[in-house]
A and B are shown apart, each in its own frame.
Chain A
Amino acid sequence: MNAELTTTQAVVEVKTASTPQGMHHTVMDISGEMVLLTWLMFTVTAFILYKIAWKPILAALDKRENDIKASLDTADKARQQAEDTKIQCERLLQEADAQARELIEQARKTAQETSDSMRNQAREESRLLLVSAQQEIAFEKEKAVNALRQESAQLAIELAGKLIKKNLDTEQNRALTGQWLSKL
Chain B
Amino acid sequence: MTSSVDIATNAVSAGGPVDTKIAVHDFIYEHVMYHIAEADVWNLPFVNVPQLDIFRYDGVMIAVGCLLLIFFCGFFYKPNKSVQHGWANLLEVFVLFIRNQIAIAFLGEKDGRRMAPLFCSFFFFILILNLLGLVPLFTTATGNINVTGALAAITLGFMVGGGIYRCGVKNFLLTFIPPGLPLPLKIFMAPLEFVSMISKVMALMIRLFANMLAGHIIIFSLVGLVALFGLWAAPVLALVVCVYFFEIFIAFFQAYIFTLLSAVYMGQLYRPEH
Q: Are A and B part of the same complex?
A: yes
Q: Which residues of A contact B (CB under 8 A)?
A: 6-7, 9-11, 13-14, 17-18, 20-21, 23-31, 33-39, 41-42, 44-46, 48-50, 52-58, 60-61, 64
Chain A residue nearest in CB terms to B141: A38
Option from A9, A52, A58 in Cβ contact (under 8 Å) with B95:
A58
Option from A11, A34, A39, A58 in Cβ contact (under 8 Å) with B56:
A34
Interface SS of chain A: helix
Q: B154 and A39: CB pair below 8 A?
A: yes
Q: Shortest Cβ distance from B13 into chain A, in angstroms?
A: 18
Count the B residues whose beta carbon is within 8 Å of the partner chain — how many? 54
Interface SS of chain B: helix
A-B contacts, 13 listed (Cβ < 8 Å)? A13-B26, A18-B38, A24-B40, A33-B59, A34-B56, A36-B150, A37-B56, A46-B121, A52-B70, A53-B74, A53-B120, A54-B95, A57-B77
Chain B residue nearest in CB terms to A31: B146
B22 / chain A contacts, CB cutoff of 8 Å: 6, 9
Q: Which residues of B contact A (CB under 8 A)?
A: 22, 25-26, 29-30, 33-34, 36-41, 51, 53, 56, 58-59, 62-63, 66, 69-70, 73-74, 77, 79, 82, 84, 91-92, 95-96, 99, 113, 116-118, 120-121, 124-125, 143-147, 149-151, 153-154, 209, 213
Q: Shortest Cβ distance from A2 into chain B, in angstroms?
A: 8
Chain A residue nearest in CB terms to B143: A27
Q: B58 and A34: CB pair below 8 A?
A: yes
Q: Shortest Cβ distance from B132 into chain A, in angstroms?
A: 13
Q: B73 and A49: CB pair below 8 A?
A: yes
